[in-house]
């Protein structure tokens, strides 16, 4: 394995540190490294191994690429994508066509995952990156897991479940610790789409008393404000799509292929 020159730390999570680095040819890469205090924890190491195996299995133009895995150093070497969707949303002016294009890119990644019965479990703007040529890519598969079959769902009833994901984008199933299907990702993706086009999150804790429990209460019981009331530029069909993704009943949420069809139709209207 080539030696990489660490340039700077660019992020830190509960279990890992991410660095911007350079390979011997001068190419920039991202290195995600398990923190030293977790390297003797079998569950954390197994989680890292699982993430690497999953990323090798799901290579796709709209997912972040794993370049190599340095197992002795607990390091994943990834393509370097410096701009997240969160950064773009905060700093760039609203561009309807661009945002539809990014939405279609991420939906393509979700189709690829869901075809393999994989649930990402942490769809949010910070885990979506804009690469060269303006293509959006989905990353951070640390929480991803296979959709459980009948036996898996039964076993989960007897285990103490853990809530994994980001509070503001949790699906009702995640918030209530029920077994997940790919429709959990559709709900989270609906939350990102709402924010991307309406400029704010669909669920706000303040009306429910604030704090985490207020957000969970809204996710479980409240209907989001129609996003066209916040941004009249968007097409009514896009509003209907976003609200259907945010349905409390997962059976009423669309599939990722259906989301793709609608987004392609909306792009076709303006191109």
**Catalytic site positions:** 122
269, 95 contact by CB (below 8 A): no
Q: What is the CA radius of gyration of the chain?
A: 19
Considering only the C-alpha atoms of the chain, give the largest distance between any 2 of them, rounded to a whole number of Å.
55
Q: Are strands 66-70 and 83-84 parallel, antiparallel or unpaired?
A: unpaired
State how far the Cα of 107 lies from the Cα of 112, in Å rounded to an integer: 9
CA distances from 97 to 108, 114, 142, 188, 268 (A): 17, 25, 31, 22, 10
Cα separation, 120 vs 114, in Å, equals: 9
DSSP 93: P
d(C-alpha 180, C-alpha 9), whole Å: 33
| Chain position carrying tokens 């941004």 | 231
Owner of token pair 């990353």: 139
Is residue 60 within 8 A of residue 136, CB to CB? The reply is: no
Task: Give Cβ neighbours of residue 61 (< 8 Å, ≥ 6 apart).
Answer: 108, 135, 137
């Amino acid at each position: 394995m080539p030696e990489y020159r660490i340039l700077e730390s660019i992020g830190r999570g509960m279990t890992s540190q991410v660095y911007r680095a350079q390979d011997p040819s001068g190419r920039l890469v991202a290195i995600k490294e398990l923190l030293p205090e977790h390297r003797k924890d079998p569950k954390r190491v197994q989680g890292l191994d699982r993430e690497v195996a999953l990323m090798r299995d799901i290579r796709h133009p709209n997912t972040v690429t794993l370049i190599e895995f340095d197992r002795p150093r607990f390091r994943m070497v990834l393509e370097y994508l410096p701009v997240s969707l969160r950064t773009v949303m905060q700093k760039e002016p609203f561009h309807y066509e661009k945002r539809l294009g990014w939405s279609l890119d991420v939906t393509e990644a979700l189709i690829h995952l869901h075809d393999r019965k994989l649930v990402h479990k942490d769809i949010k703007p910070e885990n979506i990156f804009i690469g060269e040529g303006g293509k959006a890519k989905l990353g951070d598969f640390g929480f991803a897991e296979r959709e459980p079959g009948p036996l898996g769902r039964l076993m989960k009833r007897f285990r103490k479940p853990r809530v994994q994901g980001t509070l503001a984008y949790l699906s009702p199933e995640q918030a209530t610790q029920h077994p997940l299907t790919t429709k959990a990702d559709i709900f989270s993706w609906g939350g990102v789409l709402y924010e991307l086009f309406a400029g704010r999150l669909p669920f706000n804790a303040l009306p429910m008393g604030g704090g985490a429990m207020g957000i969970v209460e809204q996710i479980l019981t409240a209907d989001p404000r129609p996003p066209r009331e916040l941004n009249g530029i968007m097409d009514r069909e896009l509003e209907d799509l976003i609200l259907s993704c945010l349905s409390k009943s997962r059976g009423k949420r669309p599939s990722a292929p259906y989301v793709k069809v609608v987004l392609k139709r909306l792009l076709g209207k303006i191109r």
